[in-house]
A and B are shown apart, each in its own frame.
With several copies, the nearest count.
Chain A
């Protein structure tokens, strides 16, 4: 069965490593914070100016001056720190953040990503995404495998304006975990529970590489 958004987040959370500073994008990536594996310490950065972001506040404790990059009210953990936007992107551009998780409209088999603009229709802007994908050593895309019309979002080439080129290393969708190979191509490494390689193949427009037996994701 294909994963829901929380399932995708849960699988991505397994990629967190001890002592990682992590930037989570808006949408599915935000959910990753709910599934931090036990026994490791990670800290979340939000590019509007906080390191050590905590959970949402209890009712009555929200503070208009304390939000995340999704403009949601948040709290600050012990040891948190606030800073300005230039310092925030110093952390990102200077590679001090170890992992970036973000959503996408399209990813191509060479690691290009598009997630900020549909010409003539939707122009919200790139926000911090272009800085994040241009700089992070370790980028995971969290998204549904297909769009609302059922079309693949894993393409040979992106059709939408790019956010970054050759930067995505790993993708976790509702159907699969895939790595992008340096020479190009989506290498299938895990299937969502009960989802077949054929289903994944059918939902993938770009070059899918399937070697040997592909295990199911493990959620224990």
Chain B
């Protein structure tokens, strides 16, 4: 067994430098690496390119890095619900590459999988296809999309073991598994760090081979973006 445990978030994020490309798991505020984002703010690294489906809200998630102007470029599929983001983007302070959600997921997976490019119908005929090769398969036009990789991928899991095997909870899984595959170095923060042998090998979502560092997160606010309820 190869031990991936680091003692804290500070150690986990060693080596992240200005100008690097990071992938961050999560969908909205669900399944985001809260401990690592806080540490990135504390570290003050800047000029980051962040690949993340969303950009958080003004005062949580990646919004915290946006406030500190640490992000140079965002690669996302949906960035609503964040006024500071919209301001920086419309003013041109922030570069933004918006790509279809399915293509984002597949491009991250491709990056981790050694597939440099693939054809997809998503985005054909739209500005997403600008400058991209178009080819018809089965009578339908497709565009060629390239793989995405990152210097560091930072993911958040529910449970993880010492060997880096991860299990996510419910819809907090989302982009985390693909990004875990696509990071040159992948960091996992977990709600519960367990000894090897504690996780059923049949129930693991991300095999430890994709994870280089794992640590026990100290706090998880797990903020809810849209608390919607029904009446009893």
Report how far A152 CA is from B176 CA in the complex, Å: 41
- Return the chain A residue nearest B100 by Cβ: A130
Proximity bits, B198-232, A CB within 8 Å = 1, else 0: 00011011011110000000000011111111111
Contacts of A88 in B (CB 8 A): 102, 105
A176 → chain B, closest Cβ, in Å? 26
- Return the chain B residue nearest A93 by Cβ: B114
Contacts of B86 in A (CB 8 A): 123
Q: A21-B209, A55-B230 are in contact. Are A128 and B177 (CB under 8 A)?
A: no
Contacts of B158 in A (CB 8 A): 65
- Cβ-based interface call for B162 (8 A): yes
Proximity bits, A85-121, B CB within 8 Å = 1, else 0: 1111111111111000000000000001000100011
Report how far A66 CA is from B109 CA in the complex, Å: 23
B5 → chain A, closest Cβ, in Å? 12
Report how far A81 CA is from B202 CA in the complex, Å: 6
Q: Tell me which of B102, B123, B128, B170 has the highest count of chain A C-beta atoms within 10 A of its own C-beta.
A: B102
Stretch of A7-15, A67-75, A199-207 lying at the B interface: A67-75
- Cβ-based interface call for A195 (8 A): no
Q: Which of B105, B168, B230 contacts A86 (CB 8 A)?
A: B105
Contact status B112-A67, CB under 8 Å: no
Contacts of B96 in A (CB 8 A): 123
- Cβ-based interface call for A45 (8 A): yes
- Cβ-based interface call for B79 (8 A): yes
A139 → chain B, closest Cβ, in Å? 13
Q: A72-B228, A90-B181 are in contact. Are A51 and B208 (CB under 8 A)?
A: yes
Report how far A137 CA is from B171 CA in the complex, Å: 26
Contact status A162-B76, CB under 8 Å: no
Contact status A81-B208, CB under 8 Å: yes
Q: A65-B172, A82-B171 are in contact. Are A127 and B77 (CB under 8 A)?
A: yes
- Cβ-based interface call for B103 (8 A): yes
Q: Tell me which of B3, B96, B122, B175 has the highest count of chain A C-beta atoms within 10 A of its own C-beta.
A: B122
- Cβ-based interface call for B38 (8 A): no
> How many residues of A sit at the interface, in one of the four size bands?
35 or more
Report how far A64 CA is from B92 CA in the complex, Å: 33
Those of A139-172 within 8 Å (CB) of chain B: 161-166
Q: Tell me which of B114, B127, B175, B177 has the highest count of chain A C-beta atoms within 10 A of its own C-beta.
A: B114
Report how far A69 CA is from B102 CA in the complex, Å: 13
Contact status B90-A120, CB under 8 Å: yes
- Cβ-based interface call for A31 (8 A): no
Q: A73-B226, A84-B105, A131-B122 are in contact. Are A123 and B181 (CB under 8 A)?
A: no
Contacts of B103 in A (CB 8 A): 130-131
Contact status B176-A126, CB under 8 Å: no
Report how far A162 CA is from B124 CA in the complex, Å: 10
- Cβ-based interface call for A190 (8 A): no
A46 → chain B, closest Cβ, in Å? 8
Contact status B226-A70, CB under 8 Å: yes
Report how far A86 CA is from B177 CA in the complex, Å: 9
Proximity bits, B117-151, A CB within 8 Å = 1, else 0: 00011111111100000000000000000000000
Contacts of A74 in B (CB 8 A): 228
Report how far A56 CA is from B126 CA in the complex, Å: 34
Contacts of B105 in A (CB 8 A): 84-86, 88-89
Report how far A33 CA is from B226 CA in the complex, Å: 18
A65 → chain B, closest Cβ, in Å? 4
Interface residues of A (CB under 8 A from B): 19, 21, 41-43, 45-52, 55-59, 62-74, 76-97, 112, 116, 120-121, 123-131, 134-135, 161-166
**Beyond A93-B114, A93-B121, A162-B126, 12 additional pairs, beta carbon < 8 A:** A41-B3, A59-B232, A64-B222, A67-B225, A71-B81, A93-B102, A123-B89, A124-B78, A126-B78, A126-B98, A127-B100, A128-B101
22 A–B contact pairs at CB < 8 A?
A47-B101, A51-B208, A62-B224, A65-B169, A67-B224, A79-B162, A79-B165, A79-B208, A81-B207, A82-B173, A84-B174, A84-B177, A84-B205, A85-B105, A88-B102, A89-B101, A90-B114, A93-B113, A93-B122, A94-B111, A128-B100, A131-B101
